Structure 1
Amino acid sequence: MSEPEIRHVCVHDVRFGARVTIVEPCNLYGCEIGDDCFIGPFTEIQKTARIAARTRVQSHTFICELVSIGEDCFIGHGVMFINDTFATGGPAGGRKELWRSTTIGNRVSIGSGATILPVTICDDVVIGAGAVVTKDIAVAGSYVGNPARLLARR
């Protein structure tokens, strides 16, 4: 029997703004975290991800490469961001050219357990808990369900 490769929890090569709070354990690497942000425990934020000022990311959240989150946002517990759409019928593997980006506007709240595929979400949107966002959202309002649909305009 061979020994496993053990990778430790780490915060590495992160560009931090002022007054950022991180609750360990977290994996943050090659990303950017703006002023006055909060990052909860058991969170992973991958390289090239950007979190703007005053955004709260709750526990057990996964923010993959190519995700940009605006100012004054709330990301609930266990939210999953996806950058691989399985465009070829299966995982992209190491083929990053198949990955797609996600852009979240300002003042967006995403409820616990939501899944966000590669989309653009405009400012002033609420995504309900457990929703699955599969298409761009261009109208401010509240969205729920799988796939997420407009419940009420703001």
Structure 2
Amino acid sequence: MTCVIQQIPVEQTLSLRREVLWPDMPLEKVKLPEDSDGWHFGAFLQDVEEPVAVISLFRDALGPVPAVPEPGDSATGSTTARFRKFACKISHQGRGIGTALLDYTLKFARTELGAQTVWCDARTSTSEWYEKRGLFALWRYILQGSRGVPPYEDRFQHF
């Protein structure tokens, strides 16, 4: 499916972030304190005013890794970027739109921000999707969920 990817204001990401990632949360809860410092992108279909997929990108150092990484496996000392709040309308998943948006974002991080490493935290239910696109899990951790249920999350890295 053909889509156009463009930079958008953060406000244009919020409703889709909420719809896909936290449908039970108020809109205010999907905002990030660092949103004003990031780059936000949307994937648009022809003749559709609102994005069908969104992602936000930030300059952000890779946090501490629980195990000692092998030389060359860590982003320590390199320029790093982190993508967050990646959401694609459920009705448009499986059509290549999310993949196109992620590819665009990874390229932007490298060419425009000079990032040598790009990383994210992702729900384990999406692990296979990220691995198919060249990212690999650094580790798994438990994050307290919004409903009191601790979902597992994986931290992914892309060189």
Q: TM-score, normalising length from structure 1?
A: 0.24
**Greater per-residue strand proportion:** 1
Task: Please state which structure has a larger fraction of its residues in helix.
Answer: 2
TM-score for both structures, normalised by structure 2: 0.23
Relative contact order higher in (CA < 8 Å, ≥ 6 apart):
2
